[in-house]
């Protein structure tokens, strides 16, 4: 049996060895226990660096990918952040340690309710969770300093580009759902949008409308 301290050390070592080097991101990931976000059969694998199945046929992302995406987003303590694709709520909990306020949306009510229950239980008070089709963004809360999309779109959705502040950053996996996608960072300037291609990734697709559960 490995001790909790050893498990944590291995978890952080895996993150570092895969390129997560930002001290604030590593600190946030050390503080957020992935265990409660993984339920049932796979709970015992929560501290391994791999994606795992969650309810509604979705997945909790691989921790090193969560770290790399968070790092690419360059979140500051003043930021208002939108996450599209709450899933388990793990990524949102990490963002909540780094940002002023986090809004997160998922198309499955069940995932939204489960994530909200974990945030409440852990006294994380700066996250608001909505059931909605996040490809339209959240017009009532816009604009955002940072937007993180954790499902793959064929193109960065127009409403999300429009809801990004000038100087804002969006990180989004782009590509067909059955192929390897590219993680893209979009930076909005006074004059337009700049696109950087960061790395290949694999995410579940960004789908239209609400889920059934």
Binding residues for ligand SAH (CB under 6 A): 58-61, 84-85, 87-88, 90-91, 105-108, 111, 133-135, 150-151, 204, 206-207, 211
CB of 150 to ligand SAH, least distance (A): 4
Helix, strand, coil fractions of the chain, as percent rounded to 5: 35, 25, 40
Catalytic (active site) residue 61: yes
CB of 60 to ligand SAH, least distance (A): 4
Secondary structure of 76-134 as H, E, C letters: CCCCEEEEECCCCCHHHHHHHHHCCEEEEEECCHHHHHHHHHHHHHCCCCCEEEEECCH
Q: State which residue, 67 or 168, has the beta carbon closest to ligand SAH.
A: 67
Q: Which of 61, 64, 88, 135 is catalytic?
A: 61
Task: Give Cα 191 to chain centroid, integer Å.
Answer: 28
CB 135 within 8 A of CB 159: yes
Q: State which residue, 52 or 186, has the beta carbon closest to ligand SAH.
A: 52
Q: State which residue, 169 or 171, has the beta carbon closest to ligand SAH.
A: 171
Q: What is the CA radius of gyration of the chain?
A: 16
Nearest to 11 by CA among 94, 76, 122: 94
CB of 39 to ligand SAH, least distance (A): 12
CB 28 within 8 A of CB 93: no
Q: State which residue, 166 or 180, has the beta carbon closest to ligand SAH.
A: 180
CB of 167 to ligand SAH, least distance (A): 24
* Residues annotated catalytic, as ranges: 61
């Amino acid at each position: 049996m490995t001790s909790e301290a050893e498990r944590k050390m291995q978890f952080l070592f895996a993150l570092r060895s895969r390129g997560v080097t930002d001290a604030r991101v590593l600190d946030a990931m050390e503080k957020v226990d992935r265990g409660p976000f993984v339920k049932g059969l796979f709970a015992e694998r929560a501290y391994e660096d791999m994606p795992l199945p969650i309810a509604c046929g979705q997945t909790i992302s691989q921790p090193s990918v969560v770290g790399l995406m968070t790092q690419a987003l360059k979140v500051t303590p003043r930021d208002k952040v939108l996450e599209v694709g709450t899933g388990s709520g793990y990524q949102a909990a990490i963002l909540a340690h780094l940002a002023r306020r986090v809004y997160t949306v998922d198309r499955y009510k069940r995932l939204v309710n489960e994530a909200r229950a974990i945030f409440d239980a852990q006294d994380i008070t700066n996250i608001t969770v909505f059931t909605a089709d996040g490809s339209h963004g959240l017009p009532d809360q816009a604009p955002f300093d940072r937007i993180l999309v954790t499902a793959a779109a064929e193109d960065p959705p127009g409403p999300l580009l429009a809801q990004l502040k000038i100087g804002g950053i969006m990180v989004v996996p782009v590509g067909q759902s059955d192929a390897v996608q590219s993680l893209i960072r979009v930076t909005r300037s006074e004059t337009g949008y700049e696109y950087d291609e960061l790395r290949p990734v694999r995410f579940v697709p960004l789908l239209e409308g609400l889920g059934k559960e």
